[in-house]
Structure 1
């Protein structure tokens, strides 16, 4: 007789396969758009800094600075957005008692991590072919920072998906919030360029810590502000704990509404 844990693993496997097929082959250009979107952002921001004749940022190549920060932010953003819509996109599966709301959210976030891994490899590989040194100085630090960003994206998605389920129109607000987060997290402009006291205010944003930690992992000589793994993980684990509590307390409403 199979155990509850093995049944859960089977459910995750089936959901993962379904989500992966839908994400990569749901339309003719689905897989291409996953790659084109971050590449367009990287190319545009790189072009803007190029016109300003800026070649380095914090002591590292400007193109690598943009690529690393952009890929890190996209990992968070895509994880958060896909988790946000997990409940609405998988309503039919709740007819099976083995499928719980958290299962679909976790699997959706995992598919995004899977896709961003290969997208990052492709973009960094293209940068290496252009002569850039893309190997990180501290791979463990990069992995820990990216894991923190992914966990925060999962937690953000869990909390906001419940809010959107209770108040459907709030989903538009949460997606709009991604634009200011894009601007104030150090994705396209270093936070050290922001004058005081606004710079200290922006450091309340855990995404700023995550992006700068990823860059520090890639470039040990990178000059940045004081950032913290503990602060990033406090936010990540705290948001996941809140999301799990909401999922647990409102499970019946999440499934039936």
Structure 2
């Protein structure tokens, strides 16, 4: 007796959104493995970088017998500034090189250049959050108060920093792909931001007539707002505000997306 024929199985077609999430998931896992295993102990260096900078600056502040900065605990003040700045720096630098580093993947039509930028930025943002949490836990064990006075402002400030860095990364990923020299120029231009963002000194100490120039930098707004959200008596610079931080983020993200759409085909075939 002949066996009955097997019923035909029709796989339901996936919509574009599910395909996009599948691509992001695969790219995220690929980037995470590459980032954490690029060199021996690469994951240690991710944490060690801000730790060494914080330790160095804490030693200097201890040597001059400073236990607080503008009304804030110096150790926590430095941790917030360092981790916030390095998260920003890693996001836009890694996003800037995302398209060039993943050219081979564009042979798959599901993978678009913008996907690689989004995934790299998301990975660096996640690593930055994890490093910040790890350092805060260490400070808690050292009997430091790590509870923010305004938790929602803390989240908003850090998220604003991430979005601003992502917007810059979107733009630079396109520009640097057409002109590789831009990458070296950007690294040179962004180096002074370590000082101008108030990472190692309070921006409120700058004379008023010069301070407004420092606050053209969105990261100065983000770091100042992040710190003020932790300390109720922190003497923050009055120029820091969320409107500028998120306005800069929205403008740069819009311009970055416009460039990605406009040059999508050229980025694939270049």
TM-score using structure 2 length:
0.92
Q: C-alpha separation between the residues in 2 aligned to 1:103 and 1:221?
A: 42
Equivalent in the alignment of 1:229: 242
Query: Are 2:177 and 1:165 equivalent residues in the alignment?
Result: yes
Greater shift, 225-234 or 47-56, is seen at 47-56
Tell which structure's C-alpha radius of gyration is larger: 2
After TM superposition, which residue ranges in structure 1, 4 or more long, deviate above 2 angstroms? none
CA deviation vs aligned residue, 1:92-136 (integer Å, no higher than 9, x gap): 111111011110000001101111122111111111111111111
CA deviation vs aligned residue, 1:225-250 (integer Å, no higher than 9, x gap): 12110100000111010001111111
SS of the equivalent of 1:6 reads helix
Asked whether the equivalents of residues 85 and 199 of structure 2 are also in contact (C-alpha less than 8 Å), the reply is: yes
Equivalent in the alignment of 1:130: 142
Which of the numbers 214, 217, 228 marks the counterpart of 1:216? Answer: 228
CA deviation vs aligned residue, 1:2-23 (integer Å, no higher than 9, x gap): 1010000100000001011111
Q: C-alpha separation between the residues in 1 aligned to 2:57 and 2:265?
A: 45
Equivalent in the alignment of 2:62: 50
Shift of 1:196: 3.4
Equivalent in the alignment of 2:267: 254
Which of the numbers 72, 76, 95 marks the counterpart of 1:83? Answer: 95
Which of the numbers 127, 131, 134 marks the counterpart of 1:115? Answer: 127
Asked whether the equivalents of residues 204 and 235 of structure 2 are also in contact (C-alpha less than 8 Å), the reply is: no
Shift of 1:222: 1.1
Task: Flag the structure with higher helix content.
Answer: 1
Query: Are 2:254 and 1:241 equivalent residues in the alignment?
Result: yes
Q: C-alpha separation between the residues in 2 aligned to 1:118 and 1:177?
A: 28
Q: C-alpha separation between the residues in 1 aligned to 2:118 and 2:249?
A: 14
Query: Are 2:74 and 1:62 equivalent residues in the alignment?
Result: yes
Q: C-alpha separation between the residues in 1 aligned to 2:124 and 2:73?
A: 28
Shift of 1:159: 0.9
Ranges in structure 1 where 5+ consecutive residues have no aligned partner: none
Q: C-alpha separation between the residues in 1 aligned to 2:142 and 2:53?
A: 18
Task: Give the superposed CA RMSD.
Answer: 1.1
Equivalent in the alignment of 1:22: 34
SS of the equivalent of 2:229 reads helix
